[in-house]
Amino acid sequence: MENKGFISSVRERASQWLSDRYDPETREKVRALIDGNESELIECFYRDLEFGTGGLRGIMGVGTNRMNIYTVAMATQGLSNYLKKEFNQVPQISVAIAHDSRNNSRLFAETTANIFSANGFKVYLFKALRPTPELSFAIRYFKCQSGVVVTASHNPKEYNGYKAYWDDGGQIIAPHDKAIIREVQAIQSVDYVNFKAKPENIELIGDEIDELYTDKITGLSLSPDVIRRQHEMKIVYTPIHGSGVKLVPQVLRKFGFTNIIGVDEQNIPDGNFPTVHSPNPEESAALGMAIRKAEETGADIVLATDPDADRVGVVVKSSQGRYIVLNGNQSASLLINYLLTKWSANGKLKGNEYIVKTIVTTELLADIARKFHVACYDVLTGFKYIADVIKTFEGKKTFIGGGEESYGYLAGEFVRDKDAVMSCALIAEAAAYAKDHGLTMYDQLLEIYREFGLYKEKLISVEKKGKSGVEEIQQMMLNFRQNPPSAINNDPLTEVMDYLDPGCLEKANKKNGGIVIPKADVLQFFTAGGTKISIRPSGTEPKIKFYFGVKEALKSIQDYESANNLLDTKIENIIRDLKLR
């Protein structure tokens, strides 16, 4: 990376940002990098920020490899060009735009709106921050051809992102994803961008969509009688400075809950996320203030959403009064078990219902679905694939719910992305249902384990930053692919699934009821002892992820601690065997 030719190329790319096509502040920052910070100059300009299948995500700053108004503008122009080709029979293409609380999110959203309007599109722009799932709802409501939400989800404060959606309200998948990438790559400089905004094409939206969206969520309630009896159940909720601040409490109240306890310090939208190290509900530390509030008030459950309110972290209270942080697999299992239990009890199961999970999510969901004679389909990691299954079966089969281990869940068909607003309400209802039967949510989880077996999962993310990090991750995947272990923790491998291998894909699709799993850079190892190990590079972060899933029979709830410890030891041995410790 340090050769003179490479450095010269980077400097040449950076010097183009010194022209008057860029604003004075940007030019000043680029000049400072050229004059005195070579390593940062390289990171900012050594490549273009990749517009991947999910859009853009990166550190904010100046440069071709950073999130800024120019990289956002170029991406929007490329997307605009593709929409014009795909929807050339539509009199006026329309798009919806939302954003979260991150620094520069409003600026990037307005930049996106201006460029869409300059290209002649009708633009529905939320007037203030809104949850990502509401953007999906708005696309479907306004019958838009596309949409964009400006968010970096649960990433640290330095990041922002740009997620593109299609006309079904789901994130973009094949073949459109690759075709859009080509159009974006064709925008080689800001000279190709139409910056002449047409304000008359932009309509601000807000409260009226909130009402429609939250009414649809309220229609998903399965136990209104239970909530009437348990309406005073104490719920602590925190948006962690994000976009769930308004709508999550609103939906909980619409469901009938009357005792919603906020975390005042975190009810303030703030892209610096001042009360947490990272605004990620997957990390227990991010839930610390909410748990303390629960301890002070004796709350029954804690709910926490990420900045764009598509993921939810859950903390439940045991019958002994301890607060226990659930992982994404546990929350998904409780939610799906509740939905299927109530669909069955309410006489709503007609034989054509189904759920969907990702291939790295717990197999417990499939076990629960089998009990109720409900189909369970597997998809690749990413809620866009769950949305695609819903689209495939629309009008033919009924989607009850779905989820992924990374804290994202969905019920119903009017949103086509993971929805923490909806999930908070349904998980709270499941907690009320348990309480109405004299149980805590934790008791309910242990009962599920007793019935189906104790499933234990763990995720390890290995971060590799920068250009060299990308290369390291590629090499790690190549090594595992070319030299898979014959046994892991003395447990022989019985199957290797390589989702780049056509033969493996054909086998997977046959087992999956005809739902096609596309080619992907994912490996899975299955052992004779029932262990599942999944390995994949993250699509949105500079990480390679290792997912471990093990199982043990649980004869009685009293055996839980010993069985859980046994599985912990098993996972640690597997991790050491793979030399990840």
Model pLDDT, residue 471: 86
Mark whether 303 and 368 lie in a shared domain. Answer: yes
Mean pLDDT of 517-545: 90
Question: Percent of the chain beyond pLDDT 90?
Answer: 91
Mark whether 541 and 479 lie in a shared domain. Answer: yes
Can 468 be counted among the known catalytic residues? no
Mark whether 309 and 392 lie in a shared domain. Answer: yes
Tokens of 15: 């010097």
Model pLDDT, residue 2: 53
Mark whether 475 and 340 lie in a shared domain. Answer: no
Mark whether 301 and 413 lie in a shared domain. Answer: yes
Mark whether 162 and 87 lie in a shared domain. Answer: yes
**Measured CA distances, 57 to 53, 89, 154, 289 (Å):** 11, 32, 11, 28
Model pLDDT, residue 118: 98
Better pLDDT: 121 or 529: 121
Mean pLDDT of 507-516: 89
CATH number at residue 507: 3.30.310
pLDDT digits 0-9 by tens, 325-338: 999 999 999 999 99
Mark whether 408 and 521 lie in a shared domain. Answer: no
Compute the Cα dihedral for 539, 159, 328, 282 and give only its sign: positive
Q: What is the dihedral of CA 341, 347, 348, 350, to 10 degrees?
A: 110
Domain-terminating residue out of 167, 182, 205: 205
Mark whether 129 and 109 lie in a shared domain. Answer: yes
* Apex 290 CA angle, 289 and 293, nearest 5: 90
Helices 105-118, 69-86: inter-axial angle, 10-degree rounding:
40
pTM: 0.94
Please answer whether residues 75 and 162 qualify as being in contact, where contact means their C-beta atoms are separated by less than 8 angstroms.
Answer: yes
Within a domain: 210: no
Within a domain: 261: yes
Mean pLDDT of 184-212: 97
Provide the residue count of the chain.
Answer: 581
pLDDT digits 0-9 by tens, 439-480: 999 999 999 999 999 999 999 998 887 777 888 899 999 999
Quote helix, strand, coil % in the chain, to nearest 5. Answer: 45, 20, 35
Instruction: Determine the structural domain holding residue 515 and report its residue range.
Output: 454-577
CA atoms of 339 and 316, how far apart (whole Å): 18
Within a domain: 28: yes
Q: What is the dihedral of CA 33, 36, 39, 45, to 10 degrees?
A: 20
Contacts of 390 (CB under 8 A, 6+ apart): 170, 356, 399, 413, 416
Question: Percent of the chain beyond pLDDT 70?
Answer: 99
Within a domain: 473: yes
Model pLDDT, residue 466: 74
Mean pLDDT of 500-528: 92
The structural domain count of the chain equals: 4
Q: What is the pLDDT confidence band of residue 67, given thresholds at 50, 70 and 90?
A: very high
Is residue 451 within a helix (H) or strand (E), and if so which, with residue range?
A: helix 441-452
Q: Which is the catalytic residue, given 80, 153, 406, 423?
A: 153
Model pLDDT, residue 446: 97
Q: What is the pLDDT confidence band of residue 580, given thresholds at 50, 70 and 90?
A: confident
Model pLDDT, residue 464: 84
CATH number at residue 403: 3.40.120.10
The rounded mean pLDDT for the chain is 95
Mark whether 97 and 244 lie in a shared domain. Answer: no
Mean pLDDT of 76-92: 97
Within a domain: 542: yes
Within a domain: 211: no
Model pLDDT, residue 540: 65
Residue 166 clears pLDDT 80, i.e. is over it: yes
Residue 1 clears pLDDT 50, i.e. is over it: no
Domain-terminating residue out of 452, 474, 499: 452
Domain-terminating residue out of 172, 205, 238: 205
The order of strands in the sheet holding 202-205 is: 56-59, 159-165, 146-150, 94-99, 122-126, 202-205
Mark whether 489 and 428 lie in a shared domain. Answer: no
The DSSP result for 388-430, as a single string, is: HHHHHHTTTSEEEEEEETTTEEEESSS--S--HHHHHHHHHHH
Within a domain: 196: yes
Model pLDDT, residue 336: 98
Residue 232 clears pLDDT 80, i.e. is over it: yes
Q: What is the pLDDT confidence band of residue 52, given thresholds at 50, 70 and 90?
A: confident
Tokens of 190: 């800001």
128-142, 302-316, 369-383, 503-517: which range is least confident on average? 503-517
pLDDT digits 0-9 by tens, 97-122: 999 999 999 999 999 999 999 999 99
Mark whether 132 and 147 lie in a shared domain. Answer: yes
Mark whether 104 and 177 lie in a shared domain. Answer: yes
